[in-house]
Structures are given as structure tokens and as C-alpha cells.
Amino acid sequence: MPAHKDGLMTVGELARRVGVTVRTIQYYDQKGLLHPSSKSEQNQRLYSTDDEERLYRILTLKFLGFSLTQIKEAEGIDDCQKLSGALDHRMCELERESMEILRNINTISNLKEHLAASESVRWSDFAQAISDMQNREDVLWMAINGEGCDESSVPELTHEVIDRWHELMGDTIEAMHDGVQPRDERGRELAARFERLGGMPSALTGLKRLANQRTQGPKKYGRDFYAGIQRRTLSFLKDALEALHEQA
């Protein structure tokens, strides 16, 4: 609790209440973001509950990716609608970052498999392998976005089938994060489920319908992210299905 009868806090008390260091508060003061409400007779900086609220504001906007300059200039962000827009923007950024992380995990896993099958390191082979993987994703991207897919041929999906697809996609993403290879037993088990659901033709036509719904409905935020996840997941399942058929 503040030690001063007027309800003001020292910099140390404010730091303890908010959970930051004294140095952090002093830094924000130097940058013109958080000035003390008054000073004591001993020239001690004193902060009010309004200052505490401003500090929480700074920390929140910093988490959302705002620079200190933007925080200083973004007084209008206190409006609920504008803050909602900032949250949506940050969500899209995190989705793109997540998509890139998953892409890199998938690429590294494939490169490890390529290296295990090689007797020596040839950088040109690695570069070609990366290029091939990216080109394959571009083909899936076009398919997911409906190129070559007649709108009238897109089937309706029952709730049961949709649930099974969601479960398969989730389990596949988890397997990719765990470093599972398409030829591993776990990968082949996923491929068998994939085939029972109709394989690639069924997946692409179903995703075409979902893509149309996302572009027309309110949930258009992050559709590039979900399409990216889908094409990487389908790329894994396609390889796993080929491995399953090779061993049959």
C-alpha cells in the first residue's frame, strides 16, 4: 500500500504493484511516457493511481507490438473500437509468425530426412530440396484457392465428416511439431485416416467451400494463415499417403 497520506506511491512501490523494475519506470519517464504526478520535499518522485493506469497502458500496448514512439502518439487508442482494431492487427501478425514457424519446422524435418539419406553435404542439393518443397506448396495453395475446381462440384459436408477432418488436421499438425516424418508409423496412420476421408480430392473440394465461406463471412481475419496451415498439413499427408502405398 502507498506509504504517503495523499495516496501517492514512490517509484519502488509502483514497481512492486505493477510487477516491473524501477529501472523500467525510470526508462519510460526518460522517454516522456510516464511522468510522476508530484515530488516529495526530498525530491522523491511520487505516482498516483492514474499514473499506475498509464503504466498498465504502456505495458499492454508494448505487448501488442507498438513502439514507444507509437505509444506516445497513440492517445486515440484508448477508444474501444480502435483498441479492438489493434488487437485484430496483432492477432494477424502472430498468425503469420506461427505459419512461418510451422513452415520452417516442416522444411527442417524434410532436410534432416534428406541429409540422413546422403553420404556427404552438397549445398546445391539442399537448396534444390528447399525450392522443391516451396514449389509443391505453391501448387497446393492454388488448389486450396479453387483453381481447377468447379464451384458446383464442391460437396456439402456433414458435421460428422467435418469433425473428423478437424481432428485429422489437428493430429497432423501435432505430429509435424513433434518431428514425425511422413514415412514413420505415426505418419502412415494419419495417411490411412486421410485416405478413409477421401484423400486429396475430398480435402481440396472441402477446403474450397470453407475458403469461400471465410471470404464472405465475418471470420475473414487470418484466412491466409489457415490456408497456409492447411497446405502444409496436406503436403505432409500427401507424402505419408505415398509412403503408405509404397509399403502396401
Q: Is the pLDDT of residue 61 over 70?
A: yes
Helices 223-247 and 185-196, packing angle to 10 deg = 100
Q: What is the mean pLDDT of residues 40-57?
A: 91
**What's the whole-model pTM score?**
0.50
> Which residue has cell 524434410?
110
Q: For the chain, what percent of residues have pLDDT higher than 90?
A: 22
pLDDT in the model for residue 83: 81
Separation of alpha carbons 238 and 18, rounded Å: 50
> Could you tell me the three cell numbers for 28?
519510460
Backbone angles phi, psi at 156, to 5 degrees: -75, 145
Report which of 108, 128, 146, 127 is spatially closest to residue 231, judged by C-alpha positions. Answer: 146
Cβ-Cβ contacts under 8 Å for 111 (sequence gap 6 or more): 126, 129, 130
Query: With contact defined as beta carbons under 8 Å apart, do 110 and 239 qualify?
Result: no
Q: Is the pLDDT of residue 235 over 70?
A: yes
> Which residue has cell 486515440?
76
pLDDT in the model for residue 3: 52
Separation of alpha carbons 182 and 243, rounded Å: 7
Separation of alpha carbons 20 and 58, rounded Å: 12
CA 95 vs CA 54, 176, 222, 226: distances in Å: 28, 17, 7, 8
Separation of alpha carbons 115 and 63, rounded Å: 39
pLDDT tens sequence across 76-124: 566 777 788 888 888 877 766 776 676 677 678 778 877 888 888 888 8
Q: For the chain, what percent of residues have pLDDT higher than 70?
A: 71
Report which of 112, 115, 144 is spatially closest to residue 211, judged by C-alpha positions. Answer: 144
